[in-house]
Amino acid sequence: MELLTNLYLLLFLSFAMCRGQRSSCDRCDPRLACNCSHAGYALVPRVTDRALTFDLSFNDIAVVTGGDLTGHEKLLILILHRNRLSEIHPSAFDSLWSLERLDLSDNQLTAINRRWFSKLGALQELNLLLNPYSCLGTRPVLQRLVRLRRLMFGGPALEELRRGDLSGVSQLEELTVQANNLRRYESGALADVWPLGRVTLSLHGPFLTNIALASDVIGDVSYPETPIILKDLHLNQSVQPFREMASRRVRKITFCNLSVSDKGIVDFLEAVDGEPITSLFMDGVTLIGEGRWEKASLTDHKNIDEFFLRNVVVLNVFQFSSLLQLGFLLQYPRKVSIINSQVFVMPCATTYLLLNLQYLDLSDNLLTDLTLTETLCNGDGTLKDLRVLNVSGNALKSLSTVSGLVTDLSKLTHLDVSRNGFISMPGGCSWPSTLRYLNISWAKLTTISPCLPETLEVLDLSNNDLKAFILILPSLRELHLSGNKLLSLPPGWMFPNLQTLTIQSNTLNMFTRSDLQAYRRLQDLWAGQNKFVCSCDFVYFLQSAIKGGEDVHLSDGEEAYVCDSPLYLQGEPAGRVRLSVVVCRRVLFVSVSCVVALIIGVLVCVLLWRLHAFWYLRMMWAWLKAKRSSRRRQPREELLSYDAFVSYSERDASWVENFLVPELEEPRENDGDSLNPRPLTLCLHKRDFLPGHWIVDNIMSAMERSRRTVFILSENFVQSEWCRYELDFSHFQLFDGETGSDAAILILLEPLSKDDIPKRFCKLRKLMSSTTYLEWPREEERSGEFWRKVRSALRDEEEEEEG
């Protein structure tokens, strides 16, 4: 048992040690943004000191120690959102001198320590939302944050805001306060911040339990140019805070997640009666009444310029009254948006009330061709001042119907009918002559037709099923064709004024400089995410465009242009591909290679010619043929016709003819030998070679038919080309294994050393070193002895054969 306990203890200690070691995060991109979120870290991991963004959101970090972020002087963004952070060392952020954004939201911080921010003089955004602190800590917490422009704080536990909590913060572009459970508020706590941009307040609890407190909070942040967003409200109680807001002449009010009754709306309209509110936004509205707002019909709201309603839910939709009684509200706005609110029709009678309407957004509703006809009063031009119409995301089917309904809207410039069910385009359509912008994206169109008006300046046909786009639109400045099935760029000459072309995510293989030059005014091209064939021309052109070497700018960046083929480049960014000359200049490469090979071949041939290599090869081939044929013929002894073949220089012909031939071929008297010597038969090229035959064949035949070969060596012999060839041939003939080295007889007409013999005849040079040769005597009295030795050398082989 004790052993088991010790083992458990050892395992526990090992686990604790492992938990105490900081790991590393290597998920940093080339822009030095390190995304270490959703990785389960319990401690702050190590990243490069050069990191500019450090995202640690959605981990299990509970503590940030004093040394976790040391060395990150260049860090600009630190995100610790949604951890279990409950403790931060006072000096944890001291080294982050350059930090501009700090997100500590949605953690377990029960107190805010001003020491955390003492060295963050460059901080511009601070998010402290959704932490369980009840107040902002010891004042002044934010004293050193002189550059702070966006501040978010508060949470479900925030109970108190005191004057001076925001001391040091002089101006903000955005302020968000989540104070649904706020109980104590010192008047003026938020009033010192000026100028103040957008303000977002969550005051659900105070509106229910302490309306005076809510009025004080709203009053401190209400300025004419400051948009105010109020979240999580039930507008059924007193509207005193709105009177306070109206008295400060606030112009833009937004409600988010609002639940409101008929009485709440009437009270609100009466509270802001005659005030200069220009914009009223409601996002996430639940109407729990029946639309009985006639009690506010005498109020004045002529300053309201824009109504924006999104995600509206009517609980009692079948009991909801008509809007015909709301003429006092609808006659003034120029912009009306009713988005994602399940509107299936707006009666024509209601449309008539929109006297000043210039902008109408009915997107993401349930309109059909029939109900849109009712909404637009059968296209009778009721909305004579309408300039922008957005009916995207509905259930429209007929583009012809839509064009007919808007044709009499004489001031219409923008029409958005995207995300509808159009499957075809009629051959012709009637449009208002003022139409400049048309969006028919996210439909099911497969072809286009002259239905599109020539007056268009911006056309969006993205995410259809188009395979080609051939239509002349002379005024077009922007064309969006992403998400189709186009194989090539549309012909540029059809769009003489086109400046922006978007054609991403199609089936383009490539495009060339000439394709883009057809667009005379094109400036921005978005053509990434296609199946590019990375040919040499395309890669070189694209890399030139990326570097700014072309008139057209590739606005989506080089990372969007990825090779799909050839296979070995698949997935590689085309801007980084390096293609070899062999691939890109194949004809040039082959031509240069052939020229180089030809030059080398010529040089080699010249060298071989200078070294007589061709003659050697030809001689060897002839000799091999002769050897092969000789084996098929009778034995060599039966072919012998001469006693010796004489090889000599033409300049030594007189000695051969006047001395050698007479001495060896003519009968001689007995010179003391026991027998009268038989005359010898010599083979001389001048006399015995067959005319018309190749000289090599004659030499080979002469040597094969001669018992021995006599070389008359002299300076003339060494300098003679043919003598050298005969020596070369004898190099094979004399040492081929059938005849021995004694088959050659060397006669020196004049003193000649072996060094005078060409070095390439190594065997002949060796023969001169190892074999006795005969020298022609200068003294006449020694000539008799010389001839006896010659006859003796020529007859030795004959006697051996006879023996």
What pLDDT does residue 9 have? 38
pLDDT of residue 664: 85
In the block, which residue shows the tokens 């044929």?
Answer: 629
Find the angle CA(200)-CA(201)-CA(207) to the nearest 5 degrees. Answer: 155
C-alpha 180/C-alpha 242 separation (Å) is: 17
Reading the block at residue 360, the tokens are: 């109408």
Angle between helices 240-247 and 211-220 (to 10 degrees): 20
Report d(CA 425, CA 12) in Å as an integer. 72
- The confidence score (pLDDT) of residue 619 equals 66
* Pairing mode of beta strands 478-480, 33-35: unpaired
DSSP state string for 600-628: HHHHHHHHHHHTTHHHHHHHHHHHHHHHH
The reported pLDDT for the residue numbered 5 is 39
HEC profile for 428-477?
A: CCCCCCCCCEEECCCCCCCCCCCCCCCCCCEEECCCCCCCCCCCCCCCCC
Query: How far is Cα 153 from Cα 157, in angstroms, rounded to an integer?
Result: 11
Q: How far apart are CA 726 and CA 709, in angstroms?
A: 10
Model pLDDT, residue 18: 41
Distance CA 467, CA 506 (A): 9
Cβ-count burial of 726 within 10 angstroms (0-12 exposed, 13-18 middle, 19+ buried)? buried
Give the model's pLDDT for residue 3. Answer: 44
Residue pair 666/731 in contact (Cβ under 8 Å)? The answer is no
Query: Which long-range contacts (C-beta less than 8 Å, at least 24 apart) are formed by 81-87?
Result: 81/57, 81/105, 81/106, 81/107, 81/127, 82/57, 82/58, 82/106, 82/107, 83/56, 83/57, 83/58, 83/59, 83/107, 84/60, 84/108, 85/61, 85/109, 86/62, 86/110, 87/62, 87/63
Q: In residues, how long is the chain? A: 803
Residue 416: what pLDDT?
98
Below-70 pLDDT ranges, the chain: 1-21, 237-238, 612, 615-616, 618-619, 622-623, 625-639, 668-677, 721-742, 754-768, 770-772, 796-803
pLDDT for 85? 97
CA 381/CA 202 separation, integer angstroms: 43
- In sequence order, what are the beta bridge partners of 177? 153, 201
Question: For residue 425, what are the contacts with CB-CB under 8 A and spacing of at least 6?
Answer: 399, 445, 447, 448, 449, 451, 452
Separation in Å, CA 744 to CA 556, 640, 727, 734: 88, 15, 11, 7
The string of pLDDT tens digits covering residues 471-529 is 999 999 999 999 999 999 999 999 999 999 999 999 999 898 899 999 999 999 999 99
Distance CA 437, CA 743 (A): 108
Helix (H, G, I), strand (E, B) or coil at 230: strand
Q: Which two tokens stand for residue 346?
A: 């707006």
Q: Kindly list the distances between the CA atom of residue 577 and the CA atoms of 275, 463, 516, 557, 568, in Å, as whole numbers in the listed order.
A: 64, 30, 22, 15, 11
Q: What was the pLDDT predicted at 68?
A: 94
- Give the three-state DSSP class for 157: coil
The pLDDT value given to residue 292? 86
CB 239 within 8 A of CB 209: no
Tokens of 93: 């952020």
Token pair belonging to 780: 């006449």
The SS3 call for residue 306 is strand
Q: How far apart are CA 501 and CA 519, in angstroms?
A: 10
Long-range pairs for 800-803: beta carbons < 8 A, 24 or more residues apart: 801/637, 801/707
Place of tokens 């001389």: 684
- Closest Cα to residue 449, out of 461, 458, 432, 437? 461
Structure tokens at 32: 């030095």
- Give residues with Cβ within 8 angstroms of 104, minimum separation 6: 80, 81, 85, 88, 126, 127, 128, 131
pTM for this model (two decimals):
0.73
Exposure of 790 by Cβ count < 10 A (0-12 exposed, 13-18 middle, 19+ buried)?
A: buried
β-strand 744-748 against 706-713: which pairing, if any? parallel
| 239 CB burial (10 A radius; 0-12, 13-18, 19+) | buried
Report CA-CA distances (Å) from 764 to 311, 612, 664, 792: 111, 18, 25, 22
